[in-house]
Chains A and B, each alone.
Chain A
Amino acid sequence: GEDVEQSLFLSVREGDSSVINCTYTDSSSTYLYWYKQEPGAGLQLLTYIFSNMDMKQDQRLTVLLNKKDKHLSLRIADTQTGDSAIYFCAERGPSGGYQKVTFGTGTKLQVIP
């Protein structure tokens, strides 16, 4: 079945760049997502990338996709304390249904002032 893995924890200083990594196993993934979850809240979609792209930039966020290695990363430039949250990588494949999305375990980002 599909599997998505992330490191559990990342700590950075305010103003530095953060890079959160993710690997996945489903080679037929169509979309890959990054979600943010703040304490006590649901998931907020930050950005997504279609599987035929290798990079997408959206303001402070840059997503890199290496489809050959099945590796996805999220870079947050100029990280702020408000970026402290759990970040989930997720993939959606054509198999298993229309909206079945498999999530990673989440990476807790701690931003040190």
Chain B
Amino acid sequence: KAGVTQTPRYLIKTRGQQVTLSCSPISGHRSVSWYQQTPGQGLQFLFEYFSETQRNKGNFPGRFSGRQFSNSRSEMNVSTLELGDSALYLCASRGTGDTEAFFGQGTRLTVV
């Protein structure tokens, strides 16, 4: 079956702009989590969605938001981009009761 798909793979934005990243989970998976990966901070949890509801949220400012649709696809949005938002954004999906989370290849966002 197809894995977790994240689009786009690469993105360049300028400071102050906003960006929307997309994640399509594995078919049948209802849980989607987002992570930010930077060289300085490592992997940090952003938020988790399950059945269109945000179930958990990490320590990120309100500029970071997300949502999940009825088909379990998820988007995350970052408004008023800052240079420090440059990172690899990873999405992971998990089936109900599954232990393993499957990761996508990520979207590399560069803010200039």
Q: Do A and B come together as binding partners?
A: yes
Chain B residues with Cβ below 8 Å from A103 are 35, 42-44
Q: Which of B11-19, B68-76, B96-104 contacts A (4 or more CB under 8 A)?
A: B96-104
Q: Are A96 and B43 in contact (CB under 8 A)?
A: no
Chain B residues 10-28 with CB under 8 Å of chain A are: none
Chain B residues 25-82 with CB under 8 Å of chain A are: 31, 33, 35, 42-45, 48, 50, 55-56, 58
Instruction: Please count how many residues in chain A sit with their CB below 8 Å of the partner chain's CB atoms.
Output: 22
Chain A residues 20-78 with CB under 8 Å of chain B are: 31, 35, 40-45, 48
Per a CB cutoff under 8 Å, which of B44, B45, B105 touches A41? B105
Per a CB cutoff under 8 Å, which of B44, B56, B90 touches A43? B90
Per a CB cutoff under 8 Å, which of A41, A44, A99, A102 touches B31? A99
Q: Are A101 and B42 in contact (CB under 8 A)?
A: no
Measured in the bound complex, the distance between the Cα atoms of B42 and A31 in whole Å is 20
A97 within 8 A of B: yes
Q: Are A106 and B42 in contact (CB under 8 A)?
A: yes
Chain B residue with the shortest CB-CB distance to A2:
B45
Chain B residues with Cβ below 8 Å from A98 are 31, 48, 50, 55-56
Q: Are B101 and A99 in contact (CB under 8 A)?
A: yes
8 nearest A-B residue pairs (beta carbon): A97-B56, A103-B43, A42-B103, A43-B103, A105-B42, A42-B105, A99-B48, A100-B56
Beyond the given A42-B90, A100-B48, A100-B56, could you list 7 further A-B residue pairs with CB under 8 A, ordered by the A residue number?
A: A41-B106, A98-B31, A98-B50, A99-B55, A101-B45, A101-B101, A104-B42
What are 18 residue pairs bridging A and B, where the CB atoms are less than 8 Å apart in the complex? A40-B105, A42-B90, A42-B103, A42-B104, A42-B106, A43-B90, A45-B101, A45-B102, A48-B99, A48-B100, A98-B55, A99-B31, A99-B50, A99-B101, A100-B58, A101-B33, A103-B42, A103-B43
